[in-house]
Amino acid sequence: KGALEAEWGREVLFVREGGTMPVTYLLEKAMFCPALHFPLGQSTDSPHVANERIGRQNLFKGRSSLRRFLHSFAHACPSSA
């Protein structure tokens, strides 16, 4: 949440929509570990159809948000050394 808010400069609105969500459960089951679904698109991007797209701003801000998330996650985990 913090990574998204820092990148976009506004409060995160969590919405449960879309058909890709079941894949998260399948990944967890197949890999025997928790999985995180980090969507970058919008419902207006026509996901999973012939003209699927993602807005340039969503792509770049999404990449930066994911970088922020991984950076904060790495610093929150205890060191294995």
pLDDT given at position 42: 79
pTM of the predicted structure, to 2 decimals: 0.70
pLDDT given at position 32: 94
Q: What parts of the chain have a pLDDT lower than 70? A: 16-21, 80-81
Nearest 10 degrees: CA dihedral of 26, 52, 38, 12?
Answer: -130
Burial of 27-38, coded b for 16+ CB within 10 Å and e otherwise, reads eeeeeeeeeeee
